[in-house]
Chain A
């Protein structure tokens, strides 16, 4: 199975800062990649699909980029409500599909 590695595992930033999360695939997944936001006790929320497409209703401060083996999720201006864990997910040649290990975002 394709392995997904996220970095960093956690990040602490100030309100208004730009936050970047990396996701690397163990092999080429083209743009078959999605990003999710998960807050404890809540349903995970789809942010980005097909590497760079913003899901309807998601604030424009979230953006995704990359293709092949390296992907990035960017929060352009961190807000208090963005405190959560973020996961990438690949589905090249589904099945299977695999998630990254997660990146916890906190406010400094």
Chain B
């Protein structure tokens, strides 16, 4: 059974870079059938798509974050990462990684539990 787990610092200072890793177990990100995405939820707010990664390195980003965000595959085929630069308090959120179906409604069919990242000095 596929499982995803986010990891990374829970506290980041303003203007610094947020870095998170998603570890996939029970599967591999080197598949043509799925994309791999990051979604976040600020406190008390709804879900926001950050971006998505395909196995060949192709990436798509939310235009509102595009200048600050990078999603990439790590050296193993079991991890992918998110970096968000120049963070502010507005980037405080629960960050989720998820597997995304290729095509159709491009839905996310498996999610991690999420990790809270607070931006504060």
Contact = CB atoms under 8 A, between A and B. Distances in A.
Given A31-B105, A49-B101, A96 B111 contact: no
A94 B62 CA distance: 11
Nearest to B109: A46
A43 B88 CA distance: 25
Interface residues of B, number: 22
Nearest to A93: B106
B68 interface: no
Number of chain A interface residues as a range: 20 to 34
Interface of A: 1, 31-34, 36, 38, 41-46, 49-51, 55, 87, 89-91, 94-102
B46 A49 contact: no
B63 interface: yes
Closest 3 CB pairs of A and B: A91-B106, A34-B107, A95-B60
Given A34-B107, A102-B46, A95 B96 contact: no
A49 B114 contact: no
A105 to B, nearest CB: 15
Contacts of B61: 95
A42 B105 contact: no
A51 B107 CA distance: 11
Interface string B44-62: 0011110010000000111
A98 B107 contact: no
A46 B49 CA distance: 15
Residue from A32, A36, A90, A97 whose CB has the most chain B CB atoms within 10 Å:
A97
B113 interface: yes
Given A95-B52, A96-B63, A98-B49, A45 B107 contact: no
